Structure 1
Amino acid sequence: MLIAPDFCHHPAFEVRVPKRQTTPFVFNSPHSGRHYPRRFLDMTRLDALAVRRSEDFFVDELFHGATELGAPMLLAHFPRAYLDVNREPYELDPRMFSDRLPSFTNRQSIRVAGGLGTVPRVVSEGQHIYARRIGFEEARQRIEGIYKPYHSTLRGLLAQTHRQFGQAVLVDCHSMPASIRIGAEGVRPDFVVGDRFGTSASAGITEAAINILRAMGYMVAANKPYAGGFITEHYGRPAKGLHAVQIEINRGLYVDEQTLQRKPGFDALREDLFQFMATLVDLPQSAFADYSIAAE
């Protein structure tokens, strides 16, 4: 297996496992990594704060209680600006490379057009990451050395869970900018729950996730503006007992997006998310297709 040189002495990602897995749920935090390799920082034109704009800030900490509830959790240490595992393996923007990309790469997706491919060209606010073009070999090492092992690990967790419980539910954990508004009235959602418009998870799981959060007093939207990315689409196979939902948390609830400092409400949100997870992972398998909790 190819080893990415930037992560020879620091783990690129981590699996947190419970003493005993007691639930078919698996949690994943692919965008909260905040280990920025020195060599990568030397390549970027951004300062140490600006390069972090694509992070799902502290999402791994917000969902830290998953293992206490008997569920494993996979989390990235590599940053999203360095490598985005919520993309196809080789979804690359030719404008950022000094050499010709191989024919097997996807160079024409909407995400590539926006500069947000597997190896991103820009951070989330549209600022260019690199001071100069990089070589394809740079991207290949990150994809072969980190992306593919990450997904192999995630597949293994889901396969083991499916064997043990007969079903597996992936909860893909993310955050969204505080500026997000939905609908004609411009309502700010606290959470967005995505299931690829009903194709990646049973309606019962999605409905339960939404209603648990609403019962806590949060404004929750479904699928808009975030229906789920590559991970949700790729791993969600409800007909085979493999479900995937994406949870987006409004950063305005818990972090100052300018300073990246935690807000006073951080701990309260983390406690709410622990209760959310505790209720969600306790769903009986027989109720996955039709379970509903009445919002209060």
Structure 2
Amino acid sequence: MWMPIDQPFHFRPGQSPLLVSMPHCGTALLPGMDARLTDAAKALPDTDWHLPALYDFLAEMDVSVIQAHYSRYVVDLNRPGDDKPLYTSKTTGLFPDILFSGAPVFIDGGFDEATKARIKAEIWQPYHQKISETLAQIRDRHGYAILFDAHSIAAQVPMLFDGTLPDFNFGNNNGPACDATMLENLAELVQHSPYTHVCNGRFKGGYITRHYGQPSAQIHAVQLELSQATYLVDASQTHHSQSDASDAQPEQTIYRLDPAKQQRVGPLLQQLIQSLLAHGHPTDEVR
């Protein structure tokens, strides 16, 4: 049994109408958990690496931010509590037992039911309670609230999609999660950039986008799944493989931030956030 959890997430409040959620950037594990992970899983390969650094401009924009403390291998905060599948294609669940590569996460099969129940109560539930409370407070203050769910993923993940992912992957659950013009404005910004994009492609928005996006209640939600090729050092430039990384801190090996790439993609990310802040009071009518 692990020690009491006193920090299930990190939160910074702001006064703007926007809340940014980063549910997959956490890297903390439960005590003793590392010894139970496979060598491939110890590198935490499916983490949304360096998102707080990519979005470091949010504080100056007075945007509220909530980000995961624990790894998605402890619990996936972007899955429903009942663990019902979000996609008909192959994916991972609330308590992932496989990596995106298809390899196992655990040596011994994962958590027992009692541990899962405690994780849900002490990590998953507090994260979602904070989102709900914050969105309600924002709506009370501004008359509406916007949730931007920030993610990133490797450009090539054969288990999840064919070929190479576009650079910017926006999702609003095929329409109902946010005002239509909100998504159109985001896509237009990327369209006038060197980057590729798609709306409601393979990633249409996970549980957070689908659950909280309720335009009729003046809460709008949109997800961005950003290709890690836009900001990580290319694999060919590193001297480590995932197996080599098992004895080192993952972020210091194969998942390194590329400063030159960050300088290129960072201003566009800031423009996306500015677009949301400038959207004004969205209509409750989703076209």
Deviation at 1:113, TM superposition (A): 9.0
Distance in 2 between the 1:246 and 1:255 partners? 20
Report the equivalent of 1:129. Answer: 105
* Alpha-carbon contact 1:200-1:236 (below 8 Å) kept: yes
Structure 2 letter corresponding to 1:212: L
Deviation at 1:114, TM superposition (A): 4.6
Is 1:282 paired with 2:274?
no
2:69 is aligned, of 57, 73, 77, to 77
Report the equivalent of 2:178. Answer: 201
Moved more, 117-126 or 223-232: 117-126
Distance in 1 between the 2:60 and 2:54 partners? 13
1:214 is aligned, of 176, 185, 191, to 191
Is 1:118 paired with 2:94?
yes
Deviation at 1:231, TM superposition (A): 0.8
Structure 1 letter corresponding to 2:121: E
Deviation at 1:110, TM superposition (A): 6.3
Deviation at 1:213, TM superposition (A): 2.2
Moved more, 72-81 or 28-37: 28-37
Q: Secondary structure at the match of 1:69?
A: coil
Distance in 1 between the 2:267 and 2:40 partners? 33
Report the equivalent of 1:261. Answer: 256
TM-score scaled by length of structure 2: 0.83
Structure 2 letter corresponding to 1:36: L
Report the equivalent of 1:273. Answer: 269
Report the equivalent of 2:25. Answer: 32
Deviation at 1:235, TM superposition (A): 0.5
In structure 2, the CA distance between the partners of 1:111 and 1:289, relative to structure 1 (3 Å rule), is: closer
Report the equivalent of 2:35. Answer: 42
Q: Secondary structure at the match of 2:10?
A: strand
Where structure 2 has 5 or more consecutive residues not aligned to the other structure, the ranges are: 236-240, 242-253
Report the equivalent of 2:11. Answer: 15
Structure 2 letter corresponding to 1:31: H
Structure 1 letter corresponding to 2:223: Q
Distance in 2 between the 1:288 and 1:269 partners? 31
Q: Secondary structure at the match of 1:172?
A: strand
Deviation at 1:81, TM superposition (A): 1.5
Report the equivalent of 1:251. Answer: 228
Deviation at 1:112, TM superposition (A): 10
* Alpha-carbon contact 2:179-2:282 (below 8 Å) kept: no
Distance in 1 between the 2:10 and 2:4 partners? 12
Report the equivalent of 1:96. Answer: none
RMSD between aligned residues: 2.7
Report the equivalent of 2:153. Answer: 176
Distance in 1 between the 2:86 and 2:268 partners? 35
Deviation at 1:153, TM superposition (A): 0.4
Distance in 2 between the 1:217 and 1:145 partners? 42
Is 1:189 paired with 2:185?
no
Q: State how many pairs are aligned.
A: 264
TM-score scaled by length of structure 1: 0.80
* Alpha-carbon contact 1:204-1:288 (below 8 Å) kept: no
Structure 2 letter corresponding to 1:72: S
Report the equivalent of 2:208. Answer: 231
* Alpha-carbon contact 1:205-1:289 (below 8 Å) kept: no
Structure 2 letter corresponding to 1:283: H
Distance in 2 between the 1:35 and 1:283 partners? 36
Deviation at 1:171, TM superposition (A): 0.4
Deviation at 1:179, TM superposition (A): 1.8
Report the equivalent of 1:101. Answer: none
* Alpha-carbon contact 2:215-2:283 (below 8 Å) kept: no
Distance in 2 between the 1:113 and 1:273 partners? 29
